[in-house]
Amino acid sequence: MNSVKTLRVPEESERCCAPLLRAALDEEQAADMAEVLKALADPVRLRLVSIIGTAESGEVCACDLPVLVDRTQPTVSHHLSLLVKAGVLEREQRGKWAWFRLRPQRLAAVGEALVDTG
């Protein structure tokens, strides 16, 4: 029988964060998790995530954000790109505007890694 092994490729959301309280994290696991937490550990970025994640339509135009978080456009752009790089947001270019939406898997993954007590 030609059984083909179905390789389960872990999704990004699964790869990012081993549970904190099941076994002592090794250096690599700790570094991976710290990377995502660092992306979230800033008040402006938290507000951006919160604004985008609670938007009625599920997405927000970058053009609206500087006034909402009271920072200049380059600063907001910088924070958004960090959040995209960390997998927390995704970016879509539409015409001259950039739209951002939440990638909820990432938040869920890191949240559960913190809560999961075996």
Which residues of this chain interact with a second copy, rule CB under 8 A? 20-25, 27, 30-31, 33-34, 37-38, 40-44, 46-47, 49-51, 53-54, 102, 104, 107-108, 110-115, 117
How far is the C-alpha of 96 from the C-alpha of 118, rounded, in Å?
Answer: 47
Sign, Cα dihedral of 80, 37, 43, 68? positive
Q: Which is nearer to a second copy, 6 or 12 (CB)?
A: 12
Q: Which is nearer to DNA, 7 or 92 (CB)?
A: 92
Q: How far is CA 64 from CA 70, 73, 76, in A?
A: 11, 10, 10
From the list a second copy, DNA, none, partner contacted by residue 108 (C-beta under 5 to 8 A by kind) = a second copy
| Biggest alpha carbon–alpha carbon distance for the chain | 64
Other Cβ atoms closer than 10 A to 13: 17
Q: Which is nearer to DNA, 26 or 117 (CB)?
A: 26
Give the x/- contact pattern for DNA in 31-70, rule: CB under 7 A: -------x---x-xx---------------xxx-------
72 and 58 Cβ atoms separated by less than 8 Å: no
Binder among 73, 104, 111, 116 for DNA (CB under 7 A) = 73
Structure-token match 């920072």, residue found: 71
84 and 91 Cβ atoms separated by less than 8 Å: yes
Q: Is 72 in the site for DNA (CB under 7 A)?
A: yes
CB of 100 to DNA, least distance (A): 9
